[in-house]
Amino acid sequence: MDLTYLAKLPDSEFQQRRQRLLAQLPENSALIVFSAQEKTRNADSSYPFRQDSYFWYLTGFNEPDAVLLLSTQNGKHESAVFVRPADPLMETWNGRRLGVAQAPTALAVDCAYSIDDIQHELPKRLPTTALYHADDLQPWGDRIVRQAVRYARQHQRQGFHAPPQLIDWRPILDEMRLFKSEHEVALLQQAGQISALAHLRAMQQTRPNRYEYELESEMLHEFNRHGARFAAYNSIVAGGENACILHYTENDQLLKDGDLLLIDAGCEFAMYAGDITRTFPINGQFSTAQRAVYEIVLQAQKRAIELLVPGASLEQVNREVLKIKLAGLVKLGILHGEIEALLEQQAYKPFYMHGLGHWLGLDVHDVGDYGTNRNRTLDVGMVLTVEPGLYLSEKLDIPAQYKGIGVRIEDNILITEYGNKVLTSAVPKEIDEIEILMQTKT
């Protein structure tokens, strides 16, 4: 199956983003963004390179040791990049480089320089009003900025000028990244679809006495098969009690007959993340206790998706989710009391200790302001996860039949003018559908 009908963003989108960003800067200011650098795995081996999301958002350029400088002066906008110079010997060993000569055309910028010259060039290009720089994001960039500003201050008699203030650009770019374009939505849909196919494969391949890592490998195979080389985050493949560890990633235990398996995994496709969680029985049949807990979480998730529409907020919807969970826990005899009183006492905390969802995009936990206590109003173009859960650890003082059951159900949704669109609906979550699918082994 070929899902790559849009394999990447069009080049024009990166240029438009830079123009929108420049339009928000005051006159005689500049903004500088640094790429990621390669990270050493051991000895002379590096981890697979993954570009900094902010740098990618503005350039679409996937090389390390690069810098973007945007400036506005006398009503004119200018974009410049610093990149690694072409080097035939290094390229023979480590892969192709774009190089300085090709960069202006390939990246649609006004000019390009070698990264080796940045300490010489940057002081000459510092603005008189403000320099926008995200401190502590890329440490190598912090050093370059400090050196450039220091040099400019020390050489004011020679015509250099240091910006009187440094301003963090993250609030501006975070707001831009929060609202997805039509092309971004297409890539997120594909990431969600590929992630869904991997979950389908995992369900059909699950059986007692396999190891958690075997299911993880099945999912990675499916990601790769559809052009998503990497997972968007460390996959969680948690059998039985392991599902009560929210960020369990050891994935090295034997799957036991009669337990549930919680898989939280998603691919990264063209830099955009999918993020799905499904919980299902290892032997293909929910027990009575497992079914009871699962139905509470499913009811809560379906209600949340119904309510997450323009004008709503995560805070408001999560309150409704909490009421559903508390009512379910009371019905099971795990909690006792009136729902409103239990809500005010936060009696759900031992069983549900995380939020309802998070922004999704270039990062699996994407950037963007949530407001106070996640009360920001949802608007068209936002993409977020919806992931209620219940975690009934063996350590809790609850009826024995529920001990060790962990359930989370997670989908990705796009807020639209008509409500929302679920981007990950291809993988079932109804109990009967899961059981039927698991009977069809691949």
Within this chain, do residues 233 and 338 fall inside the same structural domain, yes or no? yes
pLDDT tens for each residue of 170-180: 999 999 999 99
- Tracing tokens 């599902």 back to the chain, one arrives at 243
Q: How confident is the model at residue 86 (pLDDT cuts 50, 70, 90)?
A: very high
Within this chain, do residues 165 and 188 fall inside the same structural domain, yes or no? no
Structural domain contains residue 128: yes
Structural domain contains residue 259: yes
pLDDT for 41 beyond 50: yes
Q: How confident is the model at residue 308 (pLDDT cuts 50, 70, 90)?
A: very high
What does the block give as tokens for 228?
């998503």
Q: Which residues contact residue 385 at a Cβ distance below 8 angstroms, ignoring those fewer than 6 apart? A: 275, 357, 358, 360, 410, 411, 412, 413
Averaged pLDDT of the chain: 96
Using CA atoms, how far residue 148 sits from 25, 31, 296, in Å, is 21, 14, 58
Domain limit, last residue, from 150, 175, 200: 175
Give the Cα separation of 248 and 242 in Å (integer).
7
Q: What is the CATH number of the domain that holds 420?
A: 3.90.230.10
Within this chain, do residues 145 and 45 fall inside the same structural domain, yes or no? yes
Within this chain, do residues 169 and 284 fall inside the same structural domain, yes or no? no
Q: Which residues contact residue 316 at a Cβ distance below 8 angstroms, ignoring those fewer than 6 apart? A: 307, 375
Within this chain, do residues 152 and 184 fall inside the same structural domain, yes or no? no
Query: Any catalytic annotation for residue 136?
Result: no
Query: Any catalytic annotation for residue 150?
Result: no
Query: Any catalytic annotation for residue 161?
Result: no
| Catalytic one of 2, 44, 182, 397 | 44
User: SS3 for 89?
Assistant: helix
For 63, list phi and psi in degrees, rounded to 5: -120, 150
Structural domain contains residue 169: yes
Q: How confident is the model at residue 441 (pLDDT cuts 50, 70, 90)?
A: low
Within this chain, do residues 142 and 38 fall inside the same structural domain, yes or no? yes
* Geometric angle at alpha carbon 178, from 374 and 369, rounded to 5°: 30
Give the Cα separation of 181 and 381 in Å (integer).
7
Structural domain contains residue 1: no
Which structural domain, as residue segments, surrounds residue 209? 179-439
Query: Any catalytic annotation for residue 358?
Result: yes
Query: Any catalytic annotation for residue 387?
Result: yes
What does the block give as tokens for 219?
């999912």
| Catalytic one of 264, 268, 363, 411 | 264
Which of 395, 427, 432 has the alpha carbon at shortest distance from 410? 427
| Catalytic one of 63, 216, 222, 275 | 275
What is the identity of the amino acid at 33?
Answer: V
Please report the pLDDT score of residue 2 as a whole number.
Answer: 46
Q: What is the CATH number of the domain that holds 22?
A: 3.40.350.10
Contact 194, 269 (CB under 8 A): yes
Which H helix or E strand runs over 12?
A: helix 11-22
| Catalytic one of 294, 358, 363, 411 | 358
Which of 23, 14, 15, 129 has the alpha carbon at shortest distance from 76? 23
Q: How confident is the model at residue 7 (pLDDT cuts 50, 70, 90)?
A: confident
Q: What is the pTM of this model?
A: 0.96
Within this chain, do residues 160 and 188 fall inside the same structural domain, yes or no? no
- Mean pLDDT (whole number) for 91-111: 97
Within this chain, do residues 154 and 188 fall inside the same structural domain, yes or no? no
Query: Any catalytic annotation for residue 182?
Result: no
Within this chain, do residues 249 and 376 fall inside the same structural domain, yes or no? yes
What does the block give as tokens for 130?
């403000």
Q: Please state, for a pLDDT cut of 70, what percent of the chain lies above it.
A: 98
Give the Cα separation of 437 and 442 in Å (integer).
10
pLDDT for 20 beyond 50: yes
- Mean pLDDT (whole number) for 34-62: 96
Within this chain, do residues 267 and 392 fall inside the same structural domain, yes or no? yes
Strand residue runs (E) in 21-132: 29-34, 40-42, 45-46, 67-73, 76-83, 111-114, 130-132
Q: Which residues of 48-67 are buried (b: 16+ CB within 10 A; e: fewer)?
A: eeebbbbbbbbbbbebbbbb
Please report the pLDDT score of residue 8 as a whole number.
Answer: 85
| Catalytic one of 222, 363, 410, 411 | 410
Query: Any catalytic annotation for residue 379?
Result: no
Domain limit, last residue, from 128, 148, 175: 175
Give the Cα separation of 113 and 104 in Å (integer).
10
Please report the pLDDT score of residue 1 as a whole number.
Answer: 40
User: SS3 for 263?
Assistant: strand
| Catalytic one of 18, 201, 408, 411 | 408
Which H helix or E strand runs over 421?
A: strand 419-422
Q: Is the dihedral of CA 319, 422, 57, 16 positive or negative?
A: negative
pLDDT tens for each residue of 372-402: 999 999 999 999 999 999 999 999 999 999 9
| Catalytic one of 41, 153, 319, 354 | 354
Structural domain contains residue 4: no
Query: Any catalytic annotation for residue 174?
Result: no
pLDDT tens for each residue of 155-164: 999 999 999 9
Structural domain contains residue 5: no
Contact 366, 176 (CB under 8 A): no
Give the Cα separation of 243 and 228 in Å (integer).
26
Q: How confident is the model at residue 189 (pLDDT cuts 50, 70, 90)?
A: very high
Burial of 45 (0-12, 13-18, 19+ CB in 10 A): exposed
Residue with the larger pLDDT of the pair 4 and 6: 6
Task: Tell me how far apart the terminal alpha carbons of the chain are, to the nearest angstrom.
Answer: 16
Structural domain contains residue 208: yes
| Catalytic one of 216, 241, 387, 411 | 387
Number of structural domains, the chain?
A: 2
Please report the pLDDT score of residue 400 as a whole number.
Answer: 98
Structural domain contains residue 369: yes
Within this chain, do residues 82 and 31 fall inside the same structural domain, yes or no? yes
Query: Any catalytic annotation for residue 363?
Result: no
DSSP per residue over 365-402, as a string?
S------GGG-PPP-TT-EEEE--EEEE-TTS-S-GGG
- Mean pLDDT (whole number) for 274-278: 98
| Catalytic one of 294, 352, 391, 402 | 391
| Catalytic one of 365, 394, 430, 433 | 365
Within this chain, do residues 130 and 155 fall inside the same structural domain, yes or no? yes
Give the Cα separation of 153 and 425 in Å (integer).
57
Query: Any catalytic annotation for residue 354?
Result: yes
Domain limit, last residue, from 144, 175, 206: 175
pLDDT tens for each residue of 120-136: 999 999 999 999 999 99
pLDDT for 3 beyond 90: no
Query: Any catalytic annotation for residue 96?
Result: no
Neighbours of 342 (CB within 10 A): 20
Please report the pLDDT score of residue 264 as a whole number.
Answer: 98
| Catalytic one of 153, 247, 291, 319 | 247
Which of 40, 124, 45, 25 has the alpha carbon at shortest distance from 82? 124
